[in-house]
Amino acid sequence: MAKRDEQIPATRRDFLSALIKVWGVLTVVPFGTVVTKFLSPVKDSDIVRETMKVAMVSEIAENSAKIVRFNKDPVIVVHTMGGQFKAFSARCTHLGCVVQFKGDEGLPHFDCNCHGSQFDMSGKNIAGPAPRPLLPLKVTIEESSVLVTKV
C-alpha cells in the first residue's frame, strides 16, 4: 500500500510570517537601490554642463529659432534679422510652459501658447500673466558653432 503525502495545513502564524518576509523584501530593495545609486560614480549624462554646443550657425536661418535641451531644461536659440544670436530659457515664467518664437507675425517675439504670455526679443515680458522676463543665456560663436553658457 502506497502512503499518500500528507500536507500539513498552513497556520495563520505561517501565513503572517511569510507576509512579513515579503513586506521586508519590498521595503529593503528600494532602499538598497537608492544607496547603491548614491554610492556609484556619476554617469557622463548626469553631469551638469555650464557651456554646451547647441547648433551650427548654418542650422538656424535668420529670423528663426531652435529649441534645444541644455542639461535638462529647454533653451530657445534665436538668429535675429540683424544676424545676432540670442538664447533664453524656453520656460515661461508664469507656469513653465515652453515658449515659441514668432518671427513672421509683425514684430518678432516669444509666445506662450498656454496662457498668452508674450516676451520681446530681449526676453522682457510684454503681455499676459508672466511675472518675470525669460532667463537670458550667453551665446558665443566658435568655429561656426553656437555655444550657450549659463549666466
Cβ–Cβ contacts within 10 Å for residue 67, how many? 14
Q: Average pLDDT of each block of 10 consecutive residues along the chain (151 residues)?
A: 60 89 91 85 67 88 90 89 90 90 85 90 90 92 89 75
Say how far apart CA 136 and CA 150 lie, in whole Å.
Answer: 8
pLDDT of the residue at 44: 59
pLDDT of the residue at 4: 56
Distance from first CA to last CA of the chain, Å, rounded?
89
pLDDT of the residue at 8: 65
pLDDT of the residue at 40: 80
